[in-house]
Amino acid sequence: MLAKLMSFFLLGLIRVLTGAQARWHGCPPKAEQRIYFANHQSHADLVMIWAALPKELRSVTRAIAAKDYWTKSPFKQWLTSKVFNVIYVSRDRTSDEDPLEPLLDALENGDSIILFPEGTRGHFEEPQAFKAGLYNLALKCPKAVLVPAWINNVQHVLPKGEVVPVPVLCSVTFGAPIQVQDGEECKPFLARARSAVMALREV
């Protein structure tokens, strides 16, 4: 019950602070299994893209979150696990751990996921090079629809090092799905995926 109340509170707060505008430019919101992949410039990205999804999609869509950061305090852990139902990923892992395993488990359970392929927050207008995780997930879960997204302006809501959010109009633009072409190798695909995200800046 408390988690549900917090969800409503945060959704209202985010919409007041940012507007949380969702722009479905290349595809409609649809109840199908998807891998949303987006640029990453703020800890607020996770919350912003969650708030931009319709209610029926929020309940089946899980974001990826760094375990070491989001479990630092009991409140952060409760918020991310009970309210946002994130998938924790360890950045400090042993050599025999598969970093994709928790993501694959979620996809096998029928969830959609939100992925930030840069792997860490960027500090530039253009996203950093994408890491191979998106490509490997696409190969292992070919039925999941790959949807690019551009999160605009959210880095100004919660700048790095700040704890008090600033009201700024933000939006999330969702683009046309892409897929791995037959025989397409990792680097060309990741470059194409990154370009698909960047193209949404102008929409």
DSSP letter assigned to residue 81: I
Domain ranges of the chain: 18-199
Provide the token pair at 170. 């933000």
Please tell me the predicted confidence (pLDDT) of residue 17.
72
pLDDT in tens, 59-79: 899 988 888 888 899 988 998
Alpha-carbon span 99 to 94, nearest angstrom: 10
Decide: 63 and 113 in contact? Cβ < 8 Å: yes
Amino acid at 151: I
Specify whether the CB–CB gap between 12 and 125 falls below 8 A.
Answer: no
Instruction: Give percent above pLDDT 70 in the chain.
Output: 86
- Give residue 1's pLDDT: 78
pLDDT at 94: 61
With beta carbons less than 8 A apart as the criterion, state whether 37 and 175 touch. no
Segment 166-192, tens digit of pLDDT: 556 778 899 999 999 999 999 999 999
In the block, which residue shows the tokens 């700048």? 159
Residue 82's identity, in one-letter code, is: K
pLDDT tens string 120-131 = 766 567 888 999
Q: Which two tokens stand for residue 50?
A: 């969650």
20 near 151, Cβ under 8 Å?
Answer: no
Given this model, what pLDDT does residue 124 score? 61
Q: Which residue has the higher pLDDT, 90 or 78?
A: 78
- Residue 3 confidence (pLDDT) above 90: no
Residue 126 buriedness (CB in 10 A; 0-12 / 13-18 / 19+) = exposed
Domain at 18-199, CATH from 3.40.1130.10, 3.40.50.300, 2.30.110.10, 3.90.1150.10: 3.40.1130.10
Is the pLDDT score of 199 beyond 90? yes
* pTM metric for this prediction: 0.88
**In whole angstroms, what is the distance from residue 108 CA to residue 157 CA?**
34
